[in-house]
A and B are shown apart, each in its own frame.
Chain A
Amino acid sequence: MDRKTMSSELLNSDSCNLHNASSDSLGSDSMSSSLTSKVGNENVEPAEAVPTVRPDDPPLLPGEKVQGVAREVTYVCPYSGPARGVLSVTNYKLHFRSLDRDTPYVIEVPLGVVNRVEKVGGQLSRGENSYGIEIFCKDMRNLKFGHKQENHSRRNVFEKLQQYAFPLSHKLPLFAFEYTERFPENGWNVYEPIAELKRMGVPNDMWKITKINENYTICDSYPPIWAVPSQVTEEDLRQVVQFRSRGRAPVLSWIHPESQATITRASQPLVGLGAKRSCEDEGYIQLIIEANAQSHKLFIMDARPSANAIANKAKGGGYEPEDTYQNAELIFLDIHNIHAMRESLRKLKELCFPNIDESKWLSGIESTYWLKYIKCILAGACRIVDKVENHKTSVLVHCSDGWDRTSQLTALAMLMLDPYYRTLKGFEVLIEKEWLSFGHKFHLRIGHGSDNHSDADRSPIFLQFIDCVWQVTQMFPNAFEFNEFFLINIIDHMYSCRFGTFLFNSDRERTNEGVKQKTVSLWSYLNSSIDLYRNPLYHPQPHVLEPIASMRYIQLWKGYYCRWNPSMRPQDPIYQRTRELLVLKEQLEKNQEDCRKELRSRISRSIGSPSRLVASPKH
């Protein structure tokens, strides 16, 4: 492994070393590359898979092809100054390699993270590097390239960038459908809905599994398999579906193994201005209450601010009035909508990239509201956990449609309640279940492959969830089997479009498009080198986590939002050192085990002698 490229922090500001390009998240994270170097990269060098490789071609993934190359390009790094080199565009990524530095300086950006591409300057622009291309990314950075002001030197690369960064706008396939790499594990098998329900003890006396939505006929954004109260009839369920926005009826997310208190999720009831009622929906909620013998009450957590919930009545939506839902208590969690979150992240990017105003850093963070929103979501999840765990009372969560804030809340609450979701596999299951199968609109929220960068449906809802998870991992450093790098990988590949996992808006769409058959799952990739993502401090803890949703603890995730800035890059020597210790410990344990075996075999050899009575090993 070439470690030289890693040694110089400054040079390395935006890139990683060449060798790791295929194994780290986007070939750009310092932690990833240092990890890879330690553990060794088991993946085949992709460049070797493509025989017709030219010397300055970038390393390619299976299925990746170079589409355009521009020479004598200057990358204007905001931290280490301009670097001259070659810029290539493939159907997956943008690749820049410097030629004027001792240690080659490489930048790789999967085109999926590109939000928009703009030409800067014209033929007559003056000043160094004033003519070129600027790329605005979804992952908190912008890149600027300077081209020679002659022969339309940027034209080809610009066009290819447009095409392959926004393939759907140009009638091209997403890269995931062309990517052909094989992994030892098939990530599409990670989540089996029935197996996961069985793990929670469902079906049981109170809860049954229904295939009422088998062909997505009842609700097109829900999965085919639901767990519902066992008493409910199919007819009633069909009526309930009618009374919930987009047919998203209350179904089971999680059940407490001891108290049987549940978390169910839904969309808003279609109450409207006329205060419409549905006796089936009311009866159904009562069944959910009755399914928990420990409590005669249900908390309905409406994620929205109450004003928004009321305003939704005008659009036919609303919330459950307490007089008609008699044993339910409604709580508004005051989480703002997708537009507020998008705006907040935009401000955060302005604050973090490229340069930071140190003197106003803290008040600057506050003014973006990003952490305030994180706190609000965490506080909401904590309230759910408190009701379920400490009061043994079931909770129904919804917002308007039940696919944004609701997913954040149920997934976080489940993560705090159930240690299984804090394991690597369990966390993958959690995402598959609460986010993907329940129809969080990834395609719409991220804007995969589309050049419509100002689309009002885009919003960093899933990123916010991962941020919340990170906050909890900071408060409970040994409760999670996975590390920060795992989380960063998930977000990076949510944007990258290399894997099929986060494509499309619902289970139904993914099934119709044959995603499982035609693309690789992100979990195939991650699980094939799972050691990279292990938290060496992990110690399984059976108890419920109760994080503190206070700004005194919620911090900006610099390892993600500020990672492009070399001066902000956090070091994590504890992580490295603990890994080393862990390896030592494992060796020691192995030695000990060998000794035991040796001892046992000696004992068995001396069998028949009177020492037999004494020699029974006590461990």
Chain B
Amino acid sequence: MNFIMSDTKTNNSFKSYIGLHDTNLSAHDISNDESFSEILLPKLLPGEMVVAEAHSVLLFTPVSDKKNGKLGVLVVTNFKLSFITAEEEQNTYYISYQRNMLLGPNDVSLSNVDVLYQISSKKRKLTPGSSVSDQVKGIFVLCKDMRALTFSFKLSPPGHGRKLTNALLHHGFPKQHHLLFPFEYTVPYYPGNHQVTMFRTAVDWEKELTRTASVGWRISTVNQNFRLSESSPQWLVVCSSILDKQLREAAPHFNGGRLPQWCWSSHSGAALVRMADVVSASDRIKDRKSLHYKVRMQENILLETVRKSHPRLTQPVVIELTKDMPSLRHIQVSFCKLRDLCVADNEKHFWEQDSQFYSSLESTRWLHYVGNCLLKAVNAASNLAKDITVVLQESDGRDISCVIASLTQIIMDPYFRTINGFQSLVQKEWVSMGHPFCIRLGHIYKSNTQQSPVWLLFLDCVWQLLQQYPLEFEFNQIYLTTLWDSSLIPIFETFIFDSEKERSEASSVSPVILRSVWDFGEQLPERDIASFSNPLYRESPKHLEVKSGVPCLHLWSQCYFRFLPILEIKGGGKPQVDLAIRELLLPPGSSVMSVESKQQIGSFYPFTHWNTRNSVNQNSLLLSTLSLNTTDDSQSIISFSCD
């Protein structure tokens, strides 16, 4: 690796780069440290640099009353917080863990770090600017993916803990976009030949119009170079009957200049359309009334053109998404409460939570919000099924609209239940339509943040659909969990920008490589990508009839509970269903893996953390066979029978 921890130059250059006031941070102390004999080196990506490290750090097993743990080196780089422990142990992890090439099972990206606490005489929350105690005994790191890591510096040489904590505090909460890792990550990118429609060119939109056999809609260049709306795509699909001039006139009256934009059409010609709310007049009290009248008129003009785009000129239905839907704040609060239920300090705490789990879960409102989203999408879909155009309207049209528009299309159009279709859908409704991923996922730290996991809420909704329709999706929950994880790895252009404008600027102004998340090969080996597929999938053209009531919803335990080893069912859970079905699909006589290996597979597979079994025989776990690459065997059968 290029950068080893004792490289003084690196550390010095880092000091100025991030403006650490603690000038003591140097390699001097570290290289003088004799207490840690083993040399454990972090795996660094090109462009990644070690900022600080602490030796002889203890990482406690979750919910173990701080009685169990591992000893290792804790490192902060400009990309991740990495805990490095003896190599041997890492290997056993990899058996039941997705082999991510960017992050190991004990690593968290800095973007994943949500809240940092220092443990000295008591637990205290640290925010950028707060000072780290000299007496810091350990840190508690609460992550966005519901991981809670407790590190102790009890055995570390003096000063290590404080330096590390300071470094994490400064690097873990970057205040500016260009401090994110992709601006350093220099590995060349060769876009794979994934067949995802990126919706960055007029051709892509044209293709989608053709695919859905839409009439009454045209592609407008009015927003080229984002002149009209900074958050909208450059290519707007608008009603054929409206002129670009009218669009230019109308744009200022809509929040963010976001005009009615076509998303999708049914076979009968009903369309799904998204638009922002009209600008509210509150800041210009003087001519409030006349302005109000003016904006409403503009809104009506545009809605009228939407009506004209319907082949039978049917009046569209406007579904307001600001009403009776959770606000961004609600979603964030709900998420934090849910996370509280997925993190436990000790076993006593865990079982206390358990005794009231149902009512606590209810009071998080999370499932309730999932149900709200599903219900809205069901409403939209039923209108579309009745050949009525649906207009989704939301204040900025960049958050819940993305959720509802996507879900509606998944319900209506089987294409979006394939992997390529789903990815294209995310490109269309989230990326191109300017969901502010960077703000919502909190890649950049702001004190009055608008962080809100709308994206996770959406993935959860899709997961619920997977539970209700296990045969209708080409992908499985591993795929969805991986997508959530990927959004917290600040490498992919998909998730680190707030709009297409920002993406195009970033690539032209400061050269950053726009690496798409859809090239899963950037982070995962082939066999893990193969595990995304749902072995039960079969194509079917039907609309989904979705149940949205809380009694019909479930908690996504793989995604939310996987960092609680106490909850892993050994030899059980959904992975066993998956394995059993994959086995059924294999030629007779062959099997995915041995019975012994199967019972090692836990319910969180392939996200098993803290696998306590040490007798795992690596050879018995031929995970590559998961890819269903069985042509050889089936061939042999065929040739056999033709004998």
Contact = CB atoms under 8 A, between A and B. Distances in A.
Partners in one complex: yes
A619 B361 contact: no
B584 A475 contact: no
Interface range on chain A (Cβ under 8 Å from partner): 35 or more
Given A552-B557, A573-B469, A578 B584 contact: yes
Contact of B567 (A361, A546, A552, A585): A552
Residue of B363, B371, B471, B576 with most chain A CB atoms under a 10 A cut-off: B576
Contact of A361 (B551, B557, B561): B551
A352 to B, nearest CB: 9
Contact of B577 (A537, A545, A553, A595): A537
Contacts of A361: 362, 549-551
Contacts of A360: 362
Interface string A349-377: 00000001011111101100001100000
A216 B588 CA distance: 52
Contacts of B359: 362-363, 366
A592 B569 CA distance: 36
Contact of A537 (B549, B555, B557, B581): B581
Contacts of B358: 362-363, 365-366, 371, 551
A606 interface: no
Contacts of B581: 537, 578, 581
A349 B425 CA distance: 43
Contacts of A581: 581, 584-585
B191 interface: no
Interface string A589-603: 101100100010010
A553 B595 contact: no
A189 interface: no
Contacts of B363: 363
Nearest to B579: A478
B595 A475 contact: no
A479 interface: yes
A96 B471 CA distance: 36
Contacts of A358: 371, 549-551
A344 to B, nearest CB: 14
Interface string B147-169: 00000000000000000000000
Interface in B545-574: 547, 549-552, 554-555, 557, 561, 566-574
B602 to A, nearest CB: 11
Contacts of B554: 555
Contacts of B641: 591-592, 595
A339 interface: no
B458 to A, nearest CB: 21
Given A362-B362, A476-B576, A568-B552, A577 B569 contact: no
Contacts of B367: 362
B639 to A, nearest CB: 11
A240 B640 CA distance: 67
A501 to B, nearest CB: 30
A362 B536 CA distance: 31
A124 interface: no
Contacts of A537: 576-577, 580-581
Contact of A552 (B469, B561, B585, B598): B561
A217 interface: no
A619 B590 CA distance: 12
A552 B585 CA distance: 32
B631 interface: no
Nearest to B552: A568
Given A552-B354, A552-B557, A595-B640, A539 B580 contact: yes
Nearest to A584: B584
Interface in A189-238: none
Interface string B589-611: 10000010011000100000000
A307 interface: no
Contacts of A591: 641
A360 B550 CA distance: 9
A614 B86 CA distance: 51
Given A478-B577, A537-B580, A577 B536 contact: yes
B536 A574 contact: yes
Interface string A531-575: 000000101011101111011110100100010000110010110
Interface in B174-231: none
B468 interface: yes
A10 interface: no
Interface string B458-470: 0000000000111
A275 interface: no
A542 B587 contact: no
Contacts of A545: 571-572
Contact of A551 (B357, B469, B583): B357
A351 to B, nearest CB: 10
Query: Main secondary structure on chain A at its contact with chain B?
Result: helix
Query: Main secondary structure on chain B at its contact with chain A?
Result: helix
Contact of A619 (B536, B550, B589): B589
B354 A589 contact: no
B34 interface: no
Nearest to B341: A552
B357 A552 contact: yes
Contacts of A49: none
Contacts of A362: 358-359, 361-362, 367, 550
B301 interface: no
Contacts of A574: 470-471, 536, 577
Residue of B361, B470, B572 with most chain A CB atoms under a 10 A cut-off: B572
A33 to B, nearest CB: 20
A368 B595 CA distance: 40
Contacts of A366: 356-359
Given A360-B362, A362-B359, A541-B595, A476 B354 contact: no
Contact of A546 (B469, B570, B580, B589): B570
A340 interface: no
B355 interface: yes
A537 to B, nearest CB: 4
B88 interface: no
A548 B551 contact: no
B101 interface: no
B637 interface: yes
Nearest to B586: A585
Interface in A87-140: none
A44 interface: no
B324 interface: no
B287 interface: no
B643 interface: yes
Contact of A553 (B547, B557, B571): B557
A588 B587 contact: yes
A305 interface: no
A530 interface: no
Contacts of A558: 551
Contacts of A543: 571, 599
Contacts of B468: 571
B362 A363 contact: yes
A477 interface: yes
A512 B85 CA distance: 69
A364 to B, nearest CB: 9
A592 B637 contact: yes
Contacts of A541: 571, 595, 598-599
Given A537-B576, A541-B571, A577-B536, 9 more contacts: A363-B362, A476-B576, A478-B580, A542-B595, A550-B566, A558-B551, A577-B470, A578-B580, A589-B588
Interface of B: 354-359, 361-363, 367-368, 371, 468-471, 536, 538, 547, 549-552, 554-555, 557, 561, 566-574, 576-577, 579-581, 583-585, 587-589, 595, 598-599, 603, 637, 640-641, 643
13 contacts: A358-B371, A358-B550, A362-B358, A477-B572, A477-B574, A478-B579, A546-B570, A547-B569, A548-B567, A552-B555, A552-B567, A589-B589, A619-B589
**Nearest 9 pairs between A and B by C-beta?**
A362-B362, A551-B357, A366-B358, A589-B588, A363-B359, A476-B572, A595-B641, A362-B358, A537-B580
